[in-house]
Amino acid sequence: MTGVLALVGGGEWREGCSFDAELLEASGGSEVVVLPTAAAYEGPDKAVAWASRWFEGLGATVTGLGVLERHDAMDEANADAVRRARFIYLSGGSPLHLRSVLKESPVWEALTAAWHDGAVVAGSSAGAMVLCDPMVDPRGGAFTVGLGMVENLAILPHAPAASFEEDHRRTLELVTGGLVVAGIDEQTALVRAPDGTWRASGAGTTTVWRDGAEVGLAALP
C-alpha cells in the first residue's frame, strides 16, 4: 500500500487548501519536508518560508531541503532526509527544471520508496505535473516524459473549469490511446488514497478528460 498522493493545481499553502490538514493527519506526524526544487530560480527560500507560515497554523513544522540543482539530488544526505520523511511536498515553479534535477537520482528514488512505504507525497503545479507521466510541456502544450509516479495521467494546473477546454485545446487535441488529462484549479487537489481511489478537495474545481470527452474521477488511473 502506498501513502496518500495529492496533486495540487497551484496556489499552494494558502486559504482554500483545506486538504493540507487532512494530508498532515494522514502522515501521522507533525513535520513537512518541502522540496522547492521547481522554484530554484524563483525564490526557493520564499517558498519554504510561505510553507512554514502555513503549516505552523496547522500545528506542524517545515524543513526545507535545498535540492535545487542536479548535484543536490545526487547527495545521499538529501536522499536520506527524504527517505525518512512522512510528508514530502514539491513546490510549484518550473516543471522542466524539476524533472531534470530529480530524474534517476537518489533523491527521487528515496521519494518513491518513502511513498511506497506509506509517506504522504504532494506536488503543486510543476510538482503535480512532474509526478505523472506523460507530462504536459509548458512550452507549447504537447506531451513529454514525466517521472511517472502515476502513469497514463497528465496534469494541467491553474485550470478552472470555466475555461479549461478553451485554454487547453491544443493539449486535448493531442490526446491518444486512452490518456487521462486532469485540469486542476488553484487551491484544489486531486487526492489519491492508498487503495487507489481518487477524490477532489479544496476551494476550486477539477475537470477530467479521456479520449476527448469529459469523464468523472473514476477514470483516473
Give dist(CA 205, CA 178) in Å, integer: 22
Q: What separation in angstroms does the CA of 36 have from each of 43, 55, 74, 219? A: 9, 15, 16, 30
Q: Which one, of 127, 49, 130, lies nearest residue 89 by Cα?
A: 127
One-letter amino acid of 163: S
Q: What is the pTM of this model?
A: 0.96
**pLDDT digits 0-9 by tens, 144-158:** 999 999 999 999 999
**pLDDT digits 0-9 by tens, 84-137:** 999 999 999 999 999 999 999 999 999 999 999 999 999 999 999 999 999 999
Q: Please determine, for residue 192, whether its predicted confidence score (pLDDT) is greater than 90.
A: yes
| 97 Cβ contact list (under 8 Å, min separation 6) | 37, 38, 40, 41
For residue 64, name the pLDDT band (cuts at 50, 70, 90).
very high
Q: What separation in angstroms does the CA of 221 have from each of 1, 88, 92, 104, 158? A: 15, 22, 23, 23, 21
Domains of the chain: 5-132+145-151+185-204 (3.40.50.880)
